[in-house]
Amino acid sequence: MALKVLLVEDDRELRQTLRDALTVEGYDVQTSASASDASALLKHSISSGAAFDLLLLDLGLPDGNGSDLLHQVRNQFNLPVLIISARHDEDHKVHLLDAGADDYLVKPFSISELLARMRVALRHRGTSVQAALTSYQSGHLAVDVTKHEVRIDKRLVKLTPTEFKLLARLVRQAGQVVTHRQLLSDVWGVEFLEHTHYLRLYMAQLRSKLEHNSTEPKLLLTEPGVGYRLCEPD
Ligand code: CA
């Protein structure tokens, strides 16, 4: 059965382009040009027993900025939310990620990028076993969360406990962006939210141990102004 996607985007041209592209990929796409209309569609989807599997949400909408809708979704539904934003929405984007959006794409983005992010978000929600994750393997990297073992190309890499915690947190959301705030609170604790220099320091250490070339990271990617992403090859 086709996965149902709700696309909320007020730009008519982009809405049609995305709808067509996603339909070709086999998604069942419904569209909406406003937050209020999207909210009605979401409510209807529940009462009609045909819930959406994913929400694509533009931030700049004629009747709101996406926040209220995200709030409603987080309270009432369990579906992944991908934010579609323009570059100037930066602050807002971080706010929405902290509020529980799964990921974001900055316009203009390629369809293949969108599809890849959608797959990651759907997989994370579909499995919902993030807390129970015991091992992770992708590309050169292998992490045994239970044994606290990390390998690059099968070679054991020694990490400090904090480095391991940071890596494990990124592994839990592999392929998705994790905000500075989420990393600081989960690795160091909520009282460390302002200590972004910890992140820079520990990320540099992790890169020097895990990347082939730490000045050109391929694994631990920086999302400027937002956070970090553990790159997951398709
Ligand atoms: Ca817009």
Torsion 89-91-95-97 (CA) sign: positive
Q: In what order do the strands lie in the sheet with 177-179?
A: 177-179, 227-230, 220-223
Span from the CA of 58 to the centroid of ligand 1 (angstroms)? 6
**Integer angstrom CA distances of residue 101 from 84, 98, 162, 178, 219:** 11, 7, 26, 10, 22
Question: 60: CA distance to ligand 1 center in Å?
Answer: 4
**Tell me: the pLDDT tens digits for 116-141?**
999 999 988 765 544 567 889 988 99
**Ligand 1: centre distance to CA 147 (Å):** 46
Q: Does residue 57 carry a pLDDT above 60?
A: yes
For the stretch 169-187, pLDDT in tens is 999 889 999 999 999 999 9
Share of the chain above pLDDT 70, in %: 97
> What pLDDT is recorded for position 129?
44
Work out the average pLDDT over 23-36. 95
pTM, two decimals, is 0.81
Ligand 1 centre to CA of 53 (Å) is 22
Looking at residue 132, its pLDDT comes to: 61
Largest CA distance in the chain: 54
- What six digits make up the tokens of 114? 């969108």
> Tokens for 118?
């959608």
Find the 120 Cα to ligand 1 centroid distance in Å. Answer: 24
**Residue ranges of the chain assigned to CATH 1.10.10.10:** 135-230
d(CA 166, CA 169): 5
So what's the architecture of 135-230 in CATH? Orthogonal Bundle (1.10)
CATH T-level assignment (fold) for domain 4-124:
Rossmann fold (3.40.50)
Query: What is the per-residue pLDDT for 68?
Result: 84
41 CA from centroid of ligand 1 (Å) = 18
Residue 192 CA to ligand 1 center (angstroms) comes to 34
| 3-state secondary structure at position 63 | coil
Instruction: Delimit the CATH 3.40.50.2300 region(s) of the chain.
Output: 4-124
Distance 6 CA to ligand 1 centre (A): 15
Q: How confident is the model at residue 234 (pLDDT cuts 50, 70, 90)?
A: low
Looking at the DSSP assignment, which residues form a beta bridge with residue 230?
A: 220
Distance 64 CA to ligand 1 centre (A): 10
As a whole number of angstroms, the distance between CA 66 and CA 84 comes to: 10
C-alpha 60/C-alpha 83 separation (Å) is: 10
User: 8: CA distance to ligand 1 center in Å?
Assistant: 9
Mean pLDDT of 152-162: 96
Helix pair 111-127, 12-24: axis angle to 10 deg: 60
